[in-house]
Structure 1
Amino acid sequence: MPLKNDLLLRTIAGEKTERTPVWLMRQAGRILPEYRAVRNSLSGFKELVETPELAAEVTIQPVDILGVDAAIIFSDILVIPEAMGLQYEMVEKRGPHFPETIKSAADVKKLKVADASDVQYTIDAIKVTKKELDGRVPLIGFAGAPWTIFAYMVEGGGSKTFSKARAMLYTDPELSHQLLQMITTSTINYLKGQVEAGTDLVQIFDSWAGILSPTQYEKFSLPYIKKICDAITEVPKTVFAKDAYFARAWFGKINCNTVGLDWCMDIAESKALIGDNKTLQGNLDPCVLYGSEASIKEATQSMLNQFGPARHIANLGHGVYPDTDPGKVKFFVDMVKELSVRA
C-alpha cells in the first residue's frame, strides 16, 4: 500500500522535500492521557506490550493527537532477552528488573537464539497497526543494540555505572563475544520479522553506548551493530547511540541510512564527522519542551537552521519525558512543520 505521507522515507533517501519530517522518541507513552487510560486498565506495562490490539492503539495515538510524520511500534527493547530465555519484570517507578542475570558460561548455555516468532505479540501488533494506519504515515520498528541488551542481561536492571557488565568485557571477553553474537542473531531474526510484518524502517537503540570507552565500543558494540545493519537490507536503518560522541565518524562508514544525535552532540561537528551521505535525526533537548512556547519556537528554529533543509529528521535528542505537557509537544511538532516549509 502506498504511503499517503512518505516525507520521512523521502528525507532518508536524500530527496528534496517540501519540509522537514518530525516524530519523537517515546511519543507513544506516558505524556498522553489517552495512553494512560489504556495503561491503567491493565495489570502493567508488559501486558500492554504483549496485547497486539492495545499496543497498536497506543502506537497510533500520537499520529492522531500530535500529528507526527511516523508511528513507532509500542514495544520494549527487553523483549529480546526474554525471547532468549531470560525473563524480565517492569517494576513501577523503578524500571526493568531481571530476577536472574548472566554471570557465567553455564548461564549463557541456558539461553537460545530467538526467532521472530518468540516475540509474536510485537509481530502481530505491527500487522494490526499497519492495517489501522491505512498508509497514513510510515511505521518504525526497533530493537536494542546488542551491547545495551547485554548490559541489562548481565547487570540485572538499570545502573549508573553498569560495572558488572563492563567488568565482564575485561574478565571474560570470549564469553562476552559469545553472548553478544547470540543477541545479534536474535535481533536480526526479530527485525526481519518486523519488516516482514510491515515496518517501513527500523531503528537500533544503543542506550548505554556512552558508558564504554571508545576502544571497548569499537570492540564490543560497533561490530554487532554493523552486522545488524548489513543483514537488514529490505528497509532503511537508523542508529541512535546515546552519549557515544566518539562513534559518530564510525557510523558515517557503516551500512545505516540515518544517524540519531542526542542533544549534547554539536550539529556542525556531527555533520563533519558523519559526512553528507547519511540523514541526521534529532536533536532538541527534551527539557526545551518545559519552556514557554516562545522559547520552544526559538530553539526549534535554531535547530532547523543548524541542520539545514536537506537530510534532517526533526526529533528530540532522547525520549520525551513523561511529565511533559502534551500541548507543548504538539506545539513543537507544529513549529517544525511551520518553520521548515521550503519555498
Structure 2
Amino acid sequence: MSNPLLTTQTTFDSKCLKKYEEAGDKRMESAGMESARAEASVKNEPILLQALDGRVPNRTPIWMMRQAGRYLPEYRAVREKAGDFLTLCYTPDLAVEVTLQPIRRFGFDAAILFSDILVVPHALGCPLTFEAGEGPRLVPVTTSAELAALREELDPDKIDRVLEAVSRIRAELPKETALLGFCGAPWTVATYMIAGRGTPDQAPARLASLRDPAFFTALIDRLVETSARYLVGQLKAGADAVQIFDSWAGVLDPTSFRRWSIEPIRRIVSLVRAEVPGARIIAFPKGATLPGLTAMVQATGVNAVGLDWTADRPATRYALGAKCALQGNLDPLTLIAGGRALDASIDAILADFRGASHVFNLGHGIRPETPIVHVEQMIARIRGV
C-alpha cells in the first residue's frame, strides 16, 4: 500500500470546486447554509470561535500572525521602552499593551498573546538572547547530558508572568474579540534548541534525529509535556483558543513529518483536552503538503489548520472543508504590494472559501515593512466597507 504522504498533491480546477460547493459542507447538511449562518450570528460569542466550531459566521473573521509587531509605530515605541525583547515578553504591563494595540487600531476579530515560541526552552533553563537584526540565539542543546541539565518543568517565575498577561488581556478585550494563546510545535522549537538559531533547512536538527534518535526523542518528549502544560495554563488563564506553530514542518520528508510533526502535536492536543475538554486548537504546519495536512487533521483532531500562501485552496477545501476550519492564506508579500494585486488576492481567497468555516489570515507573519494603509485596505475589502 502506498504511503498517503507520498502522494503527489493534485491541483483542483474550478469544476472540482463547483462540485464541492454544490455538494455542500457536510456539517451544514441538516440545517442548510442560511439557517447555519443565522444560528451562528445569534450566538453571543466571537465569530472566530464560531468558525473554529465548524460553523459559518455571518462574516469572515480576521486576524494576522505577528499582528502586534514592528510594522506598528506604537509597538516600536513600547519595544524601545522595554529595552530588550524578553523584557517585553515577561513584563505583563508591556505584553498586555502590545497585544491590544492592533485590536485598538484595526478591530481584528482575535488578539493573539504577545510572546515568543522560544519562551518554552527559555523557561526550561536554556539561555536565550535576541540580537538586533539577527534574531534569537540559544545555547545549543545537542546531547543527552545537556538535555538532562535543563529543568524538567517550566520555570514558574517566567511562565506565571506570561499567564498574568493572558488573564489581563482577556479582561480588557471586547467580549466579541477572541483571545488566542500559542506555543511552538516540538519539532520547530527543537530545531532552534539544537542549532542555537534558525537555519535555512534545519539540517542540525534533522541530523540529530538520525544520529542520536534517543536524545532527539527525549527532547521532543520534554517539549510535548511542557508545551501541553503551557497551553493548559493559557487556556485556564483566559485564552479562548490556542495555536501550535510548526514553522519548520515543511523541511521534513513524509515519514519524518508524521513522526516529528504530526505525532507530537497529536500528543499535545490529547494532553490539553484531557485538562481542558473541548479546547479549541489550531495547527499551523507551514509548508506541509495536502496529504500531510490531511494526515495532521485526521490524527490530531484539531479544530483548524493554518495554510501558507502556497496551498492549493480548492484542493484543500475539497479534502478538509468538512473536517475542520481552514485558516489563511494571503501571501505577506501581497500585503506589502497593496493596490489591485491585494484586492484580487483577497477576492480569490474569499471566493474559494465561501460557505466554509474560514478564518482569514496571512500565510505567515506580517513583515515589518508592510504599510499600515495596506492592512486597512485588506480589512475594508474583507468586510466590504
TM-score range, shorter chain: over 0.9
Q: Matched residue of 1:232: which SS?
A: helix
The one-letter code matched in structure 2 to 1:257 is N
* 1:228 and 2:268 are equivalent in the alignment: yes
Structure 2: which 5+ runs fail to align?
Answer: 1-42
Separation (CA, whole Å) in 1 of partners of 2:218 and 2:268: 16
Separation (CA, whole Å) in 1 of partners of 2:250 and 2:155: 28
Separation (CA, whole Å) in 1 of partners of 2:322 and 2:216: 34
Shifted more, 268-277 versus 32-41: the winner is: 268-277
Q: Which residue of 161, 168, 185 maps to 1:145?
A: 185
User: CA 1:4–1:48 in structure 2 vs 1: closer, same or farther (change >3 Å)?
Assistant: farther
**Shift in Å at residue 130 of structure 1?**
1.2
Structure 1: which 5+ runs fail to align?
Answer: none
Partner residue, 2:141 = 102
Relative to the length of structure 1, the TM-score reads 0.94
Relative to the length of structure 2, the TM-score reads 0.84
**Shift in Å at residue 5 of structure 1?**
5.6
**Shift in Å at residue 232 of structure 1?**
2.0
Partner residue, 1:306 = 352
The one-letter code matched in structure 1 to 2:149 is K
Separation (CA, whole Å) in 2 of partners of 1:275 and 1:57: 36
Q: Matched residue of 1:205: which SS?
A: strand
**Larger Rg, first or second structure (1 or 2):** 2
**Shift in Å at residue 64 of structure 1?**
0.9
* 1:237 and 2:281 are equivalent in the alignment: yes
* 1:337 and 2:366 are equivalent in the alignment: no
* 1:251 and 2:296 are equivalent in the alignment: yes
State the aligned residue count. 336
Equivalent runs, 1:1-16 vs 2, <5 Å:
6-16=46-56
CA deviation profile, 1:187-215 (whole Å, cap 9, x unmatched):
01100110111000000000111111111
2:229, 2:272 within 8 Å by CA — same for their partners in 1?
no
Shifted more, 163-172 versus 199-208: the winner is: 163-172
Separation (CA, whole Å) in 2 of partners of 1:158 and 1:323: 21
Separation (CA, whole Å) in 1 of partners of 2:128 and 2:261: 22
Separation (CA, whole Å) in 1 of partners of 2:257 and 2:356: 30
User: CA 1:136–1:308 in structure 2 vs 1: closer, same or farther (change >3 Å)?
Assistant: closer
Partner residue, 1:74 = 114
Separation (CA, whole Å) in 2 of partners of 1:110 and 1:274: 42
Identity of aligned residues (%): 37
Separation (CA, whole Å) in 2 of partners of 1:64 and 1:255: 33
Separation (CA, whole Å) in 1 of partners of 2:80 and 2:154: 31
Superposition misfits of 4+ residues, deviation over 4 angstroms = none
**Shift in Å at residue 24 of structure 1?**
0.4
Separation (CA, whole Å) in 1 of partners of 2:143 and 2:341: 51
Partner residue, 1:287 = 333
* 1:62 and 2:102 are equivalent in the alignment: yes
User: CA 1:277–1:152 in structure 2 vs 1: closer, same or farther (change >3 Å)?
Assistant: same
Partner residue, 1:113 = 152
Separation (CA, whole Å) in 2 of partners of 1:85 and 1:292: 43
Provide the aligned C-alpha RMSD in A: 1.5
Shifted more, 131-140 versus 17-26: the winner is: 131-140
Separation (CA, whole Å) in 2 of partners of 1:5 and 1:295: 33
